[in-house]
Amino acid sequence: MANYNLQSTIPLLERSLEFFKPHHLELRKRLIKVCLSVICCTAVAYIFAEQIAQLFISPLFNASPLVYKLVYTNLPEAFLAYIKLALLVGVIASLPVALYQLWVFVSPGLRKNEKKMAVIIVFWAFVLFTTGAGFAYFAVLPKMLSYFMSYANEGLIPLPKLGKYLTFVARTILTFGLAFQIPFLMVMAGKAGLVHGDYFRRKRIYFYIAIIVLSFLLTAGDFMATALLSIPLFLLYEAGIFMSLLFGKKSVQGDDKP
């Protein structure tokens, strides 16, 4: 009986593999193009890695007159820091290409209204990420660095390391870029029928606790950085509650129409 079941299962698996083979080949082609885009953008970013690093370092120099240079203590540290920075910039720069390849792959199986919704999702996700990254660089990072540099004096001279500083800046920018997706994700959860907009209002205290814990982990346990990250997240969460209730009411009114 076991041998019979095995023999009957093998042809079914072969037919399934033949069915998914065109999709597999198409997905592989799209992934190769995305990888090539990341490699090309990373290579270009590495050529200008020093200029990009100076752009990241300038807020630190502006935060304190005692800091006018960075150091590195391991011989390959500067090289590896530039590689990581170039890779980060390459991934962000190739994001439009990745989204386009994803769109080309999934769009044939979508209805007209689903295609419209997908375009809206991609557009607002990219806009919110860019807004969050800009907010981190122009608003949060200077305040954070000024606070950290306030401990420096003539008897306590800071010597920031290049690699760790660039990692700190990149982590801050990425964290805020992703955090700014919160209102959008809340609205989409309501539109998809997963939760009602009022759910976020009723569970506000639990989400606030989760935001504080997440901010503490993302900032590696630094209390000042945790506060600077938590406060905007609270505001974004409240904005998400307002927008999810607003769009939820609109959708309900639209459903009532004949």
Q: Please state, in angstroms and rounded to a whole number, the distance separating the CA atoms of residues 138 and 37.
A: 28
Q: Is the pLDDT of residue 215 over 50?
A: yes
Q: Is the pLDDT of residue 127 over 90?
A: no
Domain ranges of the chain: 20-250
Whole-structure pTM value: 0.74
Q: Please state, in angstroms and rounded to a whole number, the distance separating the CA atoms of residues 251 and 243.
A: 12
Q: Are 51 and 80 in contact (CB under 8 A)?
A: no
DSSP 17-60: HHHHHHHHHHHHHHHHHHHHHHHHHHHHHHHTHHHHHHHHHHHH
User: Between 103 and 39, whose confidence is greater?
Assistant: 39
User: Between 247 and 156, whose confidence is greater?
Assistant: 156
Q: Please state, in angstroms and rounded to a whole number, the distance separating the CA atoms of residues 17 and 31.
A: 19
Q: Please state, in angstroms and rounded to a whole number, the distance separating the CA atoms of residues 52 and 45.
A: 8
Q: How would residue 2 be classed by pLDDT, with cut points 50, 70 and 90?
A: very low
Q: What is the pLDDT of residues 14-62, one digit of tens each?
A: 554 454 456 677 778 888 999 999 999 999 999 999 999 999 999 999 9
N-term to C-term CA, the chain? 57
